Amino acid sequence: MSAVNRRWYSGMLSTEDWWAVWLGLFMFLMGLLSIWEIDAVGWMAKTKTWEWSSFWSDPSWGKLLKTAHGKAGQAYEGLGPLGSIITTWLVWTALTGIGAYFMKLNVGKFVVGFTIIFAITWFVWIVGHEAHLKAPKTAESITAPQVYGEDVYCMTKVHKCTKEIKEALAKLGVPEGQLPSPQVAAQAVDMSKHAIRMSWGLSLGGGASYILALVAGLIIGNFIKGFARFLSEAAKPEWYIKTAIVYLGIKVGLMSMKAAGFAFELAVAGMAATFVAYLLFWPIVYTLGRKGFKLSRHASAVLSSGISICGVSAAIATAGAIRARPILPTMVSMLIVIFAMIELVVLPGFYTAVAPNQPIVNGAAMGMTVKTDGADAAAGAILDQLMTARHYQETGQVWEEGWILTASIVTKIWIDMFIGLWAFILALIWVYRVERDPTQMTVGASEVWHRFPKFVLGYLLAWFVYLGIAVFWADAVDMAMKGANVVQSPMRKMLFMMTFVCMGIITDFSKLKGMGRLATLYGIALFVIIAPIAYFVAWVFHRGMMPPTPGG
Amino acid sequence: MKRSDLDTVLTHDGREWVVRADGIEARGADWGELDESLRRALAGSGRYPSGSRVRVFMGFDFDTLPQWLRQYHYHYFNRWVEIRV
């Protein structure tokens, strides 16, 4: 049995890329049913911020998980938190198991592996939601610490705590706009449902869970290697992240309802930046490989694409375009996966520290620098959490969550889409100019289609459908958002979390041994050439762009 | 979809490119060697008259690449050649 892409529909049932589209669109459609008042997604479990002393005084699942998702989920309240997470496991195991069957994976091994990864994911996700790690300080503690104290944190979104404290102050007879006395302020905090006093807190937002997931995966991948090999059947970070990116299309669609101009500006700036960066990266790295490191044409071209464009997929596409031996993209891909992990660990904190006032520039630069979709989305998500948390702590102003992540994904998606075209051009140059293959008849245009990232189709469809609802069917927006919010938030975040865990599992740093010149060139090119140029180009096209503020 | 006279599956065994189809097998370290080997195999098969031109589709078998890589990308390349027997 061979896996040859002969026809335009080859791979539709047998590849992770297409299965990301199917899983993505399936839940997208389930979410859309809320327009007709059918709640087909409200069973999804959701994490909740919890505080350990309160939990241990009276442990219950209800303190860790919730089933209601705003207006959705009411039909499933009878499940309870434990029933909800079991249902979540059943549905996702069934869906991914079907995909595994068609992809000819070992279904039994996949289901066991998926279940273990699912359990690890939810465990670290819940741990990361402990209030000391996650909860932000309230706006009151930041702007008026002399009245409220510096120790008031919020167990939900900060604007909700602000609203609750304001309502409590009104009940206590404090006119709006007037600062209360410390005693009255303390009473108002006590009356607020979600404000809590804690002696310390890291205020990492969702970033705490992401970091823990990555650490858990890396421990397995590097110290429990036999276990990592066992899990490898289900450790598919690219599948999970591509599915999550389809759901991100829904989020971008929802965000576009509120800030269509900004979303459009972001997409155009991302395209322009990607195009410019691309034209700079590739020839510089190729020349360095040929002249500086004396690599072969094939090795230089594959490495240049891998490091300059979209990582592993670019390395494979380019190696295919120039008909390189398959061992070459395999070696380069190992490098890409390992270096992507290093970038993911280093860059979000670095960008947050050195450029805290350039959120969108940082996001876009991340998209052009971090290779592999999984690592980029992961880095973008951490950056989003770290930057919004820091900005809030320093200014008391809330940036709407998700725009920094979107900036990093948008540039990456443009890069992903370019690769098919670039590989096609490269194939023509290689066949007719470099190798001058006398028997080769043609390079099929179908090569562009086979190399096109299919999950992008799901992402764009989800985005434009929700944008279309906002523009042409305004009456349905509220109902559409019920289902959409479940798919784009807890479902998307669960897949992000699973991606983090899986990326750690498949990253074995010991594989860098013996890579010699290739690894040296990769490291130099990445940190000395790609990262600075990407940042400069991102700054040129995105400077001054700021995430919208809620209600702003 | 283009028409071909012969559909083959292309792989790489770590040393050589290998083409297989319906009992025909050809090998070569580079494209020149492979095509020459294929020409001899076609001539030896007795299915194509001497002097005929055979349009050959070589579809790369993506299972040649390690399983962990396939989630990133699922296409390597396909090759169309015309062999004079």
Q: What is the pLDDT of residues A11-43, one digit of tens each?
A: 899 999 999 999 999 999 999 999 999 999 999
What average pLDDT is seen over chain A? 90
Q: Does B82 sit within 8 Å of A320, measured CB to CB?
A: no
Beta strands in A117-207 (DSSP E): 152-154, 195-197
CA-based angle A46:A492:B76, to the nearest 5?
150
Residue ranges covered by each domain of chain B? 6-84
pLDDT digits (tens, 9 = 90+) for B1-56: 567 899 999 999 999 999 999 889 999 999 999 999 999 999 999 889 888 999 99
Residues 5-64 of A with CB under 8 A from B: 5-8, 11, 14-17
Q: Tell me whether strands A46-47 and A65-66 are parallel, antiparallel or unpaired.
A: antiparallel
Beta strands B6-12 and B53-60, pairing class: parallel
**Residue A99: partners with Cβ closer than 8 Å, 6 or more residues away:** A16, A19, A22, A23, A239
Compare all CA atoms of chain B with the CA of A319 and give the residue at the minimum distance: B76
Give the up-direction half-sphere exposure of residue A111: CA atoms within 13 A in the CB hemisphere.
10
Asked if B69 lies within 8 A of A329 by C-beta distance, the reply is yes
Question: Which fold does the domain B6-84 belong to in CATH?
Answer: TTHA1013/TTHA0281-like (3.30.2390)
Among partner residues B14, B71, B75, which is closest to A327 by beta-carbon distance?
B14
| Chain B residues inside the 8 Å CB shell of A441 | 55, 80-82
CA neighbor of A239 nearest in space, from A449, A90, A454, A462: A454
Confidence bin at A254 (pLDDT 50/70/90): confident
CB contact under 8 A, A439 and B83: yes
Residues 418-457 of A with CB under 8 A from B: 427, 435, 437, 439-444, 446-447, 450-451
Among chain B, residues having any CB pair with chain A shorter than 8 Å are 1-2, 7, 9, 12, 14, 31, 35, 55, 57, 59-66, 68-83
Q: Does A313 touch chain B (CB under 8 A)?
A: yes
Through-space distance between the first and last CA atoms of chain B, rounded to whole angstroms:
24
* Chain A residues inside the 8 Å CB shell of B76: 316, 319-320, 326
Nearest CB to A16; choose among B2, B64, B71: B71
Of the candidates A312, A313, A442, which has its C-beta nearest B80's C-beta?
A442
pLDDT exceeds cutoff 80 at A443: no
State the pLDDT at residue B3. 79
Q: Please name the residues between 115 and 144 in chain A that touch chain B, using a CB distance below 8 Å.
A: none
Query: What average pLDDT does the segment A469-474 reach?
Result: 87
pLDDT tier, A389 (very low <50, low <70, confident <90, very high otherwise): confident
Q: Each residue of A221-243: pLDDT tens digit?
A: 999 999 999 999 999 999 999 99
